[in-house]
Structure 1
Amino acid sequence: MKLELQGITKVFGTFVANDSIDLVVSPGEIHSLLGENGAGKSTLMNVLYGLYRPDGGQILLDDRPVRFSGPGDAMRAGIGMVHQHFMLVPPFTVAENVVLGHEPTSGGLLDLGAARRAVREISERFGFDLDPDAVVEDLPVGAQQRVEIIKALSRRAEVLVLDEPTAVLTPQETDELMGIMRQLRDEGTSIVFITHKLREVKAVADRITVIRRGKVVGTAEPTADQTELASLMVGRAVELSLVKEPARTGDVALEVRGLGVTDEDGSAPLDGIDLEVREGEILGIAGVQGNGQTELTEALLGLQKNAHGSVRLHGTELVGRTTRQILDEGVGFVPEDRTHDALVPDFTVAENLILDQHRRAPFGTGLALHPAAIRARATADVAEYDVRTGSIDDHVSTLSGGNQQKVVMARALGRELSLLIASQPTRGVDVGSIEFLHRRLIAERDRGTPVIIVSTELDEVIQLSDRIAVMYRGAILGIVPADEDRDVLGLMMAGYTVEAAREAVAAGARTTDTQLVDEGEIA
């Protein structure tokens, strides 16, 4: 199916989100819609999907004008959409979620057997490996995304919109999604791929349209240079490689000994962690997601009640203290899941920016808040971090994912810190903002703050870190310099010890050697 958008305009009050946008997606192509956070990409696709009515322009399918009064009309016309924040009912099964809203019936009764068959057929066709009776809330994020794709395909979508589909995926899940997209394209499905990740665009797109501040500013082929694409996105030259001075380290600030977490079933997702972080250095934590990184950061913050061992910050023992007490010691924290752990959706942008400081001057005294100080802080942060919002009084839930992340980072870096722990610090953030946030993290290091960075983006870990600790199955396999061979790091993430990984790389092994990774030498 050919999709064409002609002069699409969408206005919210005085804010022009989409300004006369033209876009053509040919049958059986992956067309990437590239732009920074708040550029208007998601708004444009919400117009296409019938969630918003355009204030100008028209939509054409196979050269015929169409009008949608809601998502139901769009789905009946052959358009499916996988939103960045999944539209699933967590307690429902895969099959129940897939047929929700167009339930098959037999004799007037719900026919779940037909739903299961539909899930199995699509799952087997694309190698999704999904159990129709699995409960969605028990599935990993990558599997939940496949459920969303099955929902769209079960309704015979010929145009599939993927809105920031890799924002919450691990590198392995991202690679799997790329394969699925290529397979869908080869079978004739047209795909609109919304993203701000240049590497992914170059890997999978057939054509690229760049949007900046609500307008189309250019088109490009996937062969285009990353620097050229980045400049189109943000309207200025962007430095894609991070330049930083060598760390000027001081005394050991954070000393962790024998830190572990034991679950109620006796398992140990975190087991015997030993590490040190000095003043003025960044320790990067690398590893495939699910190998204890979450438990480590939560144990350091007092969020894991079954933690044991010792965590001493400037000589003060933190194990056994409450999270509030630990934050009051000057610990800044960026959680990996901003939606559930970092923001209060129904609070304003201004309120979210002082969540961990509202009891302190100048923002509050006792039970009383000081609105003028809160608004002044918010106004300054929104300007400094380029948070795209209509007003500091808007609910933070109305912001794009990347702009929400800027709010979280601005809050964490907005006070004097004795330690900063940042988990997935730039998740869902566009290339221009990544450049800015990386510089802020380096500036914090250069002020003498000890910093721990946890990221599933290996490039980010390598660029930011002074030393890198690799985690596997709840343990640290080794701590290496930041200039360690990338393939050594990759093999360590697959379970090799430092020595075994170096020997394997010296013998010619690479992390792309699937068999070698699968047979990794476990520490």
Structure 2
Amino acid sequence: MDASSSPPLTAASQIAVELAGITKRFPGVVANHDIHLSVRKGTVHALVGENGAGKSTLMKILYGMQKPDEGTITVDGEQVAFASPGDAIARGIGMVHQHFMLADNLTVLENVVLGSEKLYGIGAGARKKIREISDRYGLGVRPDALVEDLGVAERQRVEILKVLFRGARTLILDEPTAVLVPQEVDALFGNLRELKSEGLSVIFISHKLGEVLSVADDITVIRRGTTVGTAVPAETTPRQLAELMVGSELPTPETSESTVTDRAVLSVEGLTVYAAGGASLGVEGQPATGEVKKVLDDVTFTIHAGEVMGIAGVEGNGQTELIDALIGTKHADSGTITFLGEDITPWPTRKRRESGVGYIPEDRHRQGLLLESPLWENRILGHVTEKPNAKGFWLDPKGAQADTRRIVEEYDVRTPGIDVTAASLSGGNQQKLIVGREMSHDPKFLIAAHPTRGVDVGAQAQIWDRIREARREGLAVLLISADLDELIGLSDTLRVIYDGKLVADADPATITPEELGSAMTGAASGHLEHTEDAEGTEGTEAVEATEGESDAR
């Protein structure tokens, strides 16, 4: 690992993309300063750094979304200047953003061909090409599915396919594994190796340092807007890489002490939710036989004060509908939700929020923030009637502004001030603002959906600490996460959701991410026991629960 030198010199013909001396300034902030990056052809080049380090800005410059104030971009040995993403696409550069750029009201096919209608048309030719790419890379994309009906993982696969459809030779992947289980990560890495073998280059942005070291050929580290060094994966540990990134050791989500009490905070009994429209969808998103589709099927569980209950599941198996039913944005077709001894099933969302239900949404851009509004207005969001945002019937802007300054300081939200827009913050700093907002109202029950998605190791540690601290004080937490280490480390109890049903439970103290990932595919049910055979091979065994045991769980 070299923390001071520039990337090693390579023959110009072997360089796919080179950025030299890139500097980008915004009002009150220097996002990039004299950044250097060389990406070799046929390699995966990881770009790592803490939130706000300037990674996303740098990639937006390479993709033509922003122009650098200083510096040069070279593609295949030729210096270029991009005025738009269209220019970058024409030079074979494609980007899959951390927050997807898809039109919800269009189909997958329409999203993929949008702006590239001349390549394969908009009908049979385009559909054939989409199927060909989908099959080749195992993306499982349905051309006629409506994007608004897709889960987060499916949307990501559509974005990857869209880039390949346009003939990209250099792919920028921003946090591509954030929504994947271990088996899916392995499949993605297999795809990346296949892309490499065909001479394509991948710029891989991630905060999961173990994954970075396993998949990358080269690593560039940036901190506070400038390159601070490079690392050779074979000679570097996650701890060393974290230290180079943020100057501290790699945090762990592990929780040692138990704080679970016998006081029930939230009880869900027989919760059932039908799909919108009532009919299940068959192949290509067409109605099947008209039967009613249950997206949540007889879900029952109880979360106690001081307990974190983790829900593990592949995206699209009912997690989103469960969140919607608990927060009140989706109607429960049957079953009851009891909060602190009171039936809140018919309650509107605002009443639930005012009564102590906190909510960290799974998609901060679509559900958690007003991107073009200042930070202090986002502090008010979801808590309009509560102090310090309101006095009686009236909003209290000064109170909200003062409390926003407190959140910015306590949660280390990196921002020049509270009057900048939420869109101007990096993803991790947006997440810290949301967590600060929700924890500031002392919730009794917190829905935490992917609370550390897309945040760096330092911010991860802060968010985990806040959840653990509130848990010690009696907070009940429903944790939904695609990060299985996070699920296992933070949870007191673990349940597996598959096809809208809670099909298995596991002990976080003994289960491994691989075993949990296997159960998430529907391969096991009942109580999962960690096993080790005579030859020392580890695995899981599903032990069928008796009726009494099942009820107790």
Distance, in Å, in 2 between the alignment partners of 1:118 and 1:129 is 13
Which residue in the other structure is 2:31 paired with? 17
Distance, in Å, in 2 between the alignment partners of 1:490 and 1:105 is 38
Cα 1:156–1:259, aligned 2, differ >3 Å: closer, same or farther?
Answer: closer
Deviations 1:149-191 (A, max 9, x none): 3433344322221222233445454333222221111100111
Shift in Å at residue 33 of structure 1?
0.4
What is the TM-score normalised by the length of structure 1? 0.89
The equivalent position to 2:195 in structure 1, one of 155, 159, 184, is 184
Shift in Å at residue 99 of structure 1?
3.6
Which residue in the other structure is 1:451 paired with? 477
The equivalent position to 1:194 in structure 2, one of 205, 222, 244, is 205
Query: What letter is aligned with 1:425?
Result: P
Query: What letter is aligned with 1:62?
Result: D
Contact persistence 1:53–1:69 (CA under 8 A): yes
Distance, in Å, in 2 between the alignment partners of 1:318 and 1:9 is 53
Contact persistence 1:488–1:502 (CA under 8 A): no
Distance, in Å, in 2 between the alignment partners of 1:154 and 1:436 is 40
SS for the counterpart of 2:233 is coil
Distance, in Å, in 1 between the alignment partners of 2:384 and 2:181 is 34
Cα 1:492–1:27, aligned 2, differ >3 Å: closer, same or farther?
Answer: closer
The equivalent position to 1:311 in structure 2, one of 337, 340, 343, is 337
Runs of 5+ in structure 2 lacking a partner?
1-14, 280-291, 543-549
Deviations 1:103-157 (A, max 9, x none): 3289xxx664443444344344434444545544444444443443343334432
Contact persistence 1:491–1:511 (CA under 8 A): no
Query: What letter is aligned with 2:271?
Result: L
For the aligned residue pairs, the C-alpha RMSD in angstroms reads 2.9
Which residue in the other structure is 1:157 paired with? 168
Query: What letter is aligned with 2:230?
Result: T
Cα 1:465–1:130, aligned 2, differ >3 Å: closer, same or farther?
Answer: closer
Shift in Å at residue 438 of structure 1?
0.5
The equivalent position to 2:103 in structure 1, one of 89, 97, 121, is 89
What is the TM-score normalised by the length of structure 2? 0.84
Query: What letter is aligned with 1:42?
Result: S
Shift in Å at residue 468 of structure 1?
1.8
Q: Relative to structure 2, which stretch is displaced further, 418-427 or 95-104?
A: 95-104
Distance, in Å, in 2 between the alignment partners of 1:13 and 1:136 is 36
Shift in Å at residue 71 of structure 1?
2.1
Which residue in the other structure is 2:42 paired with? 28
Which residue in the other structure is 1:227 paired with? 239
Contact persistence 1:227–1:240 (CA under 8 A): no
Runs of 5+ in structure 1 lacking a partner?
518-522
Query: What letter is aligned with 1:387?
Result: V
Deviations 1:268-287 (A, max 9, x none): 32233332222222222223
Shift in Å at residue 367 of structure 1?
4.3
SS for the counterpart of 1:378 is helix
The equivalent position to 2:312 in structure 1, one of 276, 286, 291, is 286
SS for the counterpart of 1:269 is strand
Cα 1:31–1:480, aligned 2, differ >3 Å: closer, same or farther?
Answer: closer
Cα 1:189–1:272, aligned 2, differ >3 Å: closer, same or farther?
Answer: same
Distance, in Å, in 2 between the alignment partners of 1:13 and 1:56 is 16
Structure 1 segments of 4 or more deviating over 6 A?
Answer: 507-513
The aligned runs of 1:87-166 (5 Å cut-off) are 87-104=101-118, 112-166=123-177
Deviations 1:209-229 (A, max 9, x none): 111110111211223211111
Deviations 1:49-74 (A, max 9, x none): 22211111111223332222222222
Deviations 1:283-304 (A, max 9, x none): 2222333333333333222333
Deviations 1:430-477 (A, max 9, x none): 111111111110000111222221222221111111222232333333
Which residue in the other structure is 1:254 paired with? 266
Cα 1:359–1:205, aligned 2, differ >3 Å: closer, same or farther?
Answer: same
Q: Relative to structure 2, which stretch is displaced further, 309-318 or 257-266?
A: 257-266
Distance, in Å, in 2 between the alignment partners of 1:405 and 1:132 is 32
Which residue in the other structure is 1:213 paired with? 224
Shift in Å at residue 407 of structure 1?
1.9
The equivalent position to 2:525 in structure 1, one of 481, 484, 497, is 497
Contact persistence 2:97–2:174 (CA under 8 A): yes
Query: What letter is aligned with 1:32?
Result: A
Shift in Å at residue 342 of structure 1?
2.1
Cα 1:509–1:415, aligned 2, differ >3 Å: closer, same or farther?
Answer: farther
Give the length in aligned residue pairs.
512
The equivalent position to 1:6 in structure 2, one of 4, 17, 20, is 20
Which residue in the other structure is 1:464 paired with? 490
Query: What letter is aligned with 1:293?
Result: Q
Cα 1:326–1:64, aligned 2, differ >3 Å: closer, same or farther?
Answer: same
Contact persistence 1:488–1:498 (CA under 8 A): no
Overall identity of the aligned pairs, in %: 45
Distance, in Å, in 2 between the alignment partners of 1:410 and 1:503 is 37
Distance, in Å, in 2 between the alignment partners of 1:280 and 1:308 is 28
Which residue in the other structure is 2:289 paired with? none
Cα 1:256–1:93, aligned 2, differ >3 Å: closer, same or farther?
Answer: closer
Shift in Å at residue 506 of structure 1?
5.5
Contact persistence 2:311–2:496 (CA under 8 A): yes
Query: What letter is aligned with 2:24?
Result: K
Contact persistence 1:58–1:65 (CA under 8 A): yes
In the alignment, structure 1 residue 51 sits paired with structure 2 residue 78: no
In the alignment, structure 1 residue 245 sits paired with structure 2 residue 257: yes
